[in-house]
A and B are shown apart, each in its own frame.
Chain A
């Protein structure tokens, strides 16, 4: 059953700690994306990767980092430098030949 998995569904951290959100896809898609969704603010792009070992900053990359060592994996680290990390994080992927992005179920991160 192809798709995108994000784990965990809910994540709680103390302020000052880095935390890594997992995103795995078995769709054989080249491109992967990380978005942040806040109420009333739509989806904002954090980072994206078009190919393994390459990634670009999105619109709100400050305080975040990513890696793309494998085609199927695109983990996002929320660092202590992110001023307002509590949010719903969505991972997506896209085939090279398509414009449609497929989304995972999301991870809700709460930092206190």
Chain B
């Protein structure tokens, strides 16, 4: 069965630090990749997505992610985090034949001012 692995469960950073959250998936075929974010008290919302084309994807609020097919990875990055980036981040994958998203367990990010 397909699976999604998020390596960091809890991350604590100071403002202005750089962020990289890991995401690896197990499916070997065509995939669609997503990062969702859940800010405290808010809806889960889409941060960015990859379907095809340029493997470096830009999202909202200065986030980006790079799809590396050979590594089955879709890591999320931000060069300089802010306190407002404190949230839970979820990686999700949809393979070509499946109608469902497969979700990682999430990474809780706390940014200290």
Q: Which of A14-22, A69-77, A78-86, A98-106 contacts B (4 or more CB under 8 A)?
A: A98-106
Contact of B104 among A42, A90, A105 (CB under 8 A): A42
CB of B103 within 8 Å of the partner chain: yes
How near does chain B come to A92, taking the closest CB pair, in angstroms?
8
A60: interface (CB < 8 Å): no
B84 within 8 A of A: no
Q: B9–A43 contact, CB under 8 A?
A: no
What is the bound-complex CA distance between A6 and B82, given in angstroms?
30
Number of interface residues of A (CB under 8 A): 19
Q: Is the CB of A41 within 8 A of B105?
A: yes
Would you mind naming 25 contact pairs between A and B with Cβ atoms under 8 Å apart? A31-B99, A40-B105, A40-B106, A41-B105, A42-B103, A42-B104, A42-B106, A43-B44, A43-B103, A44-B103, A45-B101, A50-B99, A58-B100, A90-B44, A99-B34, A99-B49, A99-B94, A100-B34, A100-B49, A101-B101, A103-B45, A104-B43, A105-B42, A105-B43, A106-B43
Chain A residue with the shortest CB-CB distance to B10: A40
Q: Known A90-B44, A104-B43; judge A99-B105 contact (CB<8 A).
A: no
Residues of chain B within 8 A (CB-CB) of A103 are 43-45
* B16 within 8 A of partner (CB): no
Contact between A100 and B46 (Cβ–Cβ < 8 Å)? yes
7 further A-B pairs in the complex, CB-CB below 8 A; given A99-B32, A104-B43: A44-B103, A90-B44, A99-B34, A99-B49, A99-B51, A101-B101, A105-B43
A contact set with B: CB distance below 8 Å? 31, 40-45, 48, 50, 58, 90, 92, 99-101, 103-106
Per the bound structure, the CA–CA distance linking A40 and B94 in Å amounts to 21
Chain A residues near B49 (CB-CB < 8 A): 99-100
Cα(A92)–Cα(B62), bound, Å:
25
